[in-house]
Amino acid sequence: MNPNLENNPTPFKGEVFRKLIHYSSAVIPVGYLFLDKFTVLSILVVLLFFMIVFEFLKYRNDTFYRFYLKYFRDMLREHEYDRFKFRINGASWVILSSIFCILLFPKLIAVTGLLMLSFADSSSALFGRIFGRKQYAPNRSYVGTAVFFVVGLLIALLTPKYFGGLREYLIGFVMVIVTTIADGMSLPVDDNFTIPVVSCSVMYVLYMLLFPGIIF
């Protein structure tokens, strides 16, 4: 997401804190490199459960709602504190997408897709907020999209590979292009879900095509 100063009601300080939390979500894919799938999924499912419970309480209980606004208001998007329509916040979407990708995709593919969310999306948002005066769509700036693409390329180059050959780097390059386009389209589903899922899906399909018979 590439929020712009003119049409994003989140204060800049709050946006910085929001993206620092977003960056910190990299602990999920990095941790997954060293832990087994069952352990990581167990932790994430429990965490998601408590986050969803808190989401319901904030809508139903005035005390929880006041606490939520007092400590998190400056980091929230408008829909995240609107009590008239239930919608989970961005952090819950991060956990949900992490569960989805870890459950469905091979480890190194899931790790790469989730790092795209942690670093490419967060960096594009911050640079888009600071420098993205020229937009091509609501909340989408040329600067933010360019940063998303460049950071995505770095992730594709630096993340662990199965074989390390040219074809794998080609898979990463194509993935970054497709994911950058998808992010720029402002899809109706929260981008904390679409970015890693699109990234992982593209990589998985390309591995199947370029490495016939591969067993992950």
Least reliable range by pLDDT among 47-51, 140-144, 171-175: 140-144
Q: What is the DSSP letter of 95?
A: H
The reported pLDDT for the residue numbered 33 is 97
Q: Please name the residue ranges forming H helices in the chain.
A: 12-24, 27-34, 37-60, 62-72, 90-104, 107-115, 122-131, 142-158, 166-184, 191-210
Within a domain: 1 = no
The reported pLDDT for the residue numbered 88 is 77
Res 5 pLDDT > 60: no
Within a domain: 200 = yes
Within a domain: 6 = no
Within a domain: 215 = no
178 contacts: CB under 8 Å, gap ≥ 6: 198, 202
Within a domain: 5 = no
What's the number of domains the chain is made of? Answer: 1
Within a domain: 120 = yes
Higher pLDDT, 90 or 39: 39
Within a domain: 4 = no
Provide the whole-model pTM: 0.85
Q: What is the pLDDT of residues 42-83, one digit of tens each?
A: 999 999 999 888 878 877 777 877 776 776 665 666 555 566
Within a domain: 31 = yes
Instruction: Return the H-helix or E-strand segment holding 118.
Output: none
199-215: average pLDDT = 96
The reported pLDDT for the residue numbered 1 is 43
Instruction: Report residue 123 as tokens.
Output: 């960096």
**Are the C-beta atoms of residues 128 and 151 closer than 8 Å to each other?**
no
25-37: average pLDDT = 97
Residue 29 lies in domain: 12-210
Tally of residues, the chain: 216
Q: What is the pLDDT of residues 93-136, one digit of tens each?
A: 999 999 999 999 999 999 999 999 999 999 998 888 888 777 87
